[in-house]
Amino acid sequence: LVAKRASLVEDVIAQTGVLVPFAWYLRKRLPCLHEFCVICDEPLVFSPLLRPTVCTRTLCCYSARTFGDAVTGEFSGVNASLEVWDLLVAMAVCAGRMNHERMKILFGDQSFPQLFIPGSTQPALQASDDGLKRLRKLLQQLATYRASQIGGSSIHWFTRAFSDTG
């Protein structure tokens, strides 16, 4: 990504005038803005996301928390990731309601959830028929808990469930 950005700058320098290089740079750079931190403009350490994202560098995290929307625009550090987590939970719950064969395909050896009991190095669930039954039961309990927590607050049940104070 650094090379990509550097080549864009080199191409802009080759353009003549003031407005043409600016317009050319905007046209080329806008489709890939999500690949870079909105504060420091460095490539993201993790894979690019769909929304504007702040990298994990200390100064960027601090700036995002301190200045919030003033610096990052639409970005909200907690809710952006919570929406993704809620979507993943909802998709897992729906997959848990499928028949055994379909669930076996969706949660195969490569995609079986790695859940650990605190202090243990062994997964709590194994990718086996017994593990699928236990996973289905866990997903049913999670669906019940999620439904009781959502109420009228949409995905904000995650905020309450994982807050430092609660």
C-alpha count within 13 angstroms, C-beta hemisphere, residue 84: 8
Check: CB of residue 2 under 8 Å from CB of residue 43. yes
Q: For 116-164, how does the pLDDT look when each residue is reduced to its tens digit (9 = 90+)? A: 777 777 778 888 888 889 989 988 898 888 777 766 555 555 555 555 5
| pLDDT at residue 57, rounded to an integer | 75
For tokens 């700036």, name the residue.
Answer: 63
Cα first-last separation, the chain: 40
Instruction: Tell me the C-alpha to C-alpha distance, in Å, between residue 19 and each of 8, 11, 87.
Output: 16, 14, 42
pLDDT at 99 over 80: yes
Confidence of residue 81 (pLDDT cuts 50, 70, 90): low
| pLDDT at residue 107, rounded to an integer | 84
| pLDDT at residue 26, rounded to an integer | 84
- C-alpha 7/C-alpha 13 separation (Å) is 10
| pLDDT at residue 83, rounded to an integer | 63
Confidence of residue 60 (pLDDT cuts 50, 70, 90): confident
